[in-house]
Structure 1
Amino acid sequence: MGTSFRALFGVTSSSPTPLLSHRHAYAHTNKSTLNTLLFLKRLTLGIDNHFPEVIRAALDRIETEELPGESDVFNSLHMVALRFRLLRQHGIWLSTDVFGKFRNETGSFSTDICTDPRGLLSLYNAAHMAVPGEVVLDDAIAFARGHLEVIKGKVRSPLAGQISCALDIALPRFTRRLETMHYMAEYEHEEAYDTLLLELARLNFNLVRILHLKELKALSLWWRDLYDTVKLPYARDRMVEIYFWTCGMLHEEEYSHSRKLFAKTFGLVSLLDDTFDVHATLEECYKLNEAMQRWDESVVSILPEYLRMLYIKTLSNFFFFEAKQEGIPLLCFY
């Protein structure tokens, strides 16, 4: 990417900038657990990778600081569920006991929370951080989903849209890049939203999108050359789909090399997969498997004619990947 987010804002250890000032402001003034939780939530605007130290400190704070039992704020289902989800999403274990105050003597969730749509939505999303065997969270999903289905047409935007999206795909299972896109549209409708944070998020989103488009262009040219060379009309032409999938895993600018490497690898695997699944005979599958196990261009003669170029291109591309990773001059391959 020609101009990175950090370069554009001059983010260095010695140059104060709006971003740095903003970061220091959150680090040193917003000490309450409430403000910390809201700040961490707002970083889902897609700029969390620019605040690693602040996020670490914020997580330490909300993990170790007990939520005040007498506070109306922290007796709120929304805030308890938000804290639970954020900690678990960052790999910090938190017991489901925190939801005990919202359950009745039989262990079921209390009907008192049915009139709190935001709380139900937060509970529903948080419960999707469950691990196998957490019955409390399984119950929470069923309980919250049933009531959200009933009330989704009775609440205003943007909450109505958030509920519909969550019922389709729960927030912890949503692609981060798409989550950012949705949240940017919703964030400016929140009370006391931060204009600078939203500006930074929009700028970062557009800069990363430019990088993604450059990567996709390069990958499309690589794929077209490969696809036209191997001449396998039964194989799916799916580089855009594959690249979208890699962005779902790693969308940040610093993972550019990994995205391109994954996309090329999955593209080659896709050609092999289609060959094994929909076209090759059983005998041809055995021969291709034998050749792949031996991983040597000299055995290409055991393959049927139509698979030879696929085998050669697979080997040459992986040799190229390894050479580039190890710093071997690429001229050796020409």
Structure 2
Amino acid sequence: MNIENLKDIIKDMFLVTDWITKLKLVNQIDMLCLNNHFETEIKETIDVVMLMYHNDGNVHEIRHDALSLRILRQYGFKVSQDVFRGFVNRGCDNNIDVQELIAIFEASHLGSESESLLDNAKILSTKLLENKFSNIKQTREALQLPLNRRVLWYDLKRRISDFKNSDEDNIVLLNLAKLNFNNVQANHHQELGILIRWWKKLGLMEHLSFTRDRVVESYLWSVGVNYEPQHKSFRKWLTKAITMVIVIDDVYDLFGSFKELECFTNAIIRWDLHEVDLLPNCMKVCLEALFSLTEETALEIQTEKGGILVLPHLKNAVHLFLILYNSFFLVLFIDSFNIVTLIMFIVGGLLQSIIYGSKVVQ
């Protein structure tokens, strides 16, 4: 069967009335990275689960409470942490199996700072997993990195294999996951080929021999942010932005003098290539590439998103990044005879990471 036939069969699975069964199906779909195929069905299910979760009047198994809390919070609903009060109050006297503990452990990572009950549930579930079930593969994987901190797409091949061998085996979901994985990977491979050709045509490596060739790593980073096929333009724009940030980072770290970097930064703030005659040719080429890429990206976004004026916002983002970047190097070079210590470079790396991360979040 093809993808569309399999999708139709799975959509029929959402017709069951038991909300716990529907919630388990949503979880399986999420874990197999199929949620973009069932957005309408998932939204309807989450709305039903949210209603039933508070109003069905039944006492549920703790694994179902944990799964409900994790999925509902994952989709943006506020759910009370009180479902874990009994678990926390019993402490080490809890007599529950490894699957229930892992469910509690995973759910406890979706708490906020003020939710001490979830913090205690996290501590207790971690302790019980380490003491009682540390020899189980699933326990080791959960403790190593909880689900909410994983890039699910990069874990998918392993999860397909685990799903195949689990008692939750659903041959239709499994077949769809395999077909979807192969299709999406093929699209990613094609996108990466286009980006590699763009990078080679840009020619920065020829003029800036000191810079790093990181277009593949940049693309993998963008896939980690959003792997779904419909977001290929986002991946292209983000990959190019990351690649350019790496080049600029190398210009600051490895090449430019303080005066050159000051001129380089001022040119970007003014968004003007005039008065850069004193800069080395490689820095001029870098500026030209940055300006061209920013304006090209703005035009592509405007075309794709329907005339939104993007360029001023992109310029402001670049300005902020460079101003903060240059401020750090001003501290380093304030005394031209200073020796830059390892600690100073570590602080600089942290600052750059914070700046970079903040732009991605925005």
Give TM class, smaller chain. Answer: 0.7 to 0.9
Partner of residue 282 from structure 1, selected from 251, 255, 258: 258
The change in CA–CA distance for 1:258 and 1:299 in structure 2 (over 3 A counts) is farther
Which residue number corresponds to residue 120 of structure 2?
139
Q: How many residues align?
A: 302
- 1:153 deviates by 3.9
The aligned runs of 1:42-81 (5 Å cut-off) are 42-43=28-29, 44-66=31-53, 71=59, 74=60, 76-81=61-66
Of 80-89 and 145-154, deviating more is 145-154
Which residue number corresponds to residue 41 of structure 1?
27
- 8 Å contact kept, 2:101–2:129: yes
The change in CA–CA distance for 1:252 and 1:313 in structure 2 (over 3 A counts) is same
The aligned runs of 1:59-138 (5 Å cut-off) are 59-66=46-53, 71=59, 74=60, 76-104=61-89, 110-113=91-94, 115-138=96-119
**Normalising to structure 2: TM-score of the pair?**
0.77
Unaligned runs of 5+ in 1: 11-16, 155-159, 329-334
Structure 1, residues 63-104: CA drift from partner, whole Å, max 9, x if none?
Answer: 111376655xx2x22211111110111111111112122232
Partner of residue 311 from structure 1, selected from 287, 292, 301: 287
Structure 1, residues 25-80: CA drift from partner, whole Å, max 9, x if none?
Answer: 2232x211220121011102111111111101110111111376655xx2x22211
The one of the two structures with greater contact order (alpha-carbon pairs below 8 A, sep at least 6) is: 1
- 8 Å contact kept, 2:3–2:176: no
- 8 Å contact kept, 1:300–1:312: no
Distance 2:134 2:80 in 1: 33
Of 225-234 and 144-153, deviating more is 225-234
- 1:114 deviates by 5.5
The change in CA–CA distance for 1:279 and 1:45 in structure 2 (over 3 A counts) is same
Query: For the aligned residues, what is the CA RMSD?
Result: 2.3
**What is the SS of the residue equivalent to 2:277?**
helix
| Aligned-pair identity (%) | 26
- 8 Å contact kept, 2:101–2:125: yes
Distance 1:237 1:152 in 2: 44
**What is the SS of the residue equivalent to 1:298?**
coil
Which residue number corresponds to residue 211 of structure 1?
187
Is 1:198 aligned to residue 174 of structure 2?
Answer: yes
Structure 1, residues 232-259: CA drift from partner, whole Å, max 9, x if none?
Answer: 2332221221111101111000001110
Distance 2:260 2:133 in 1: 54
Q: Which amino acid aligns with 2:39?
A: P
- 1:177 deviates by 0.3
Which residue number corresponds to residue 14 of structure 1?
none
**What is the SS of the residue equivalent to 1:297?**
coil
Which residue number corresponds to residue 332 of structure 1?
none
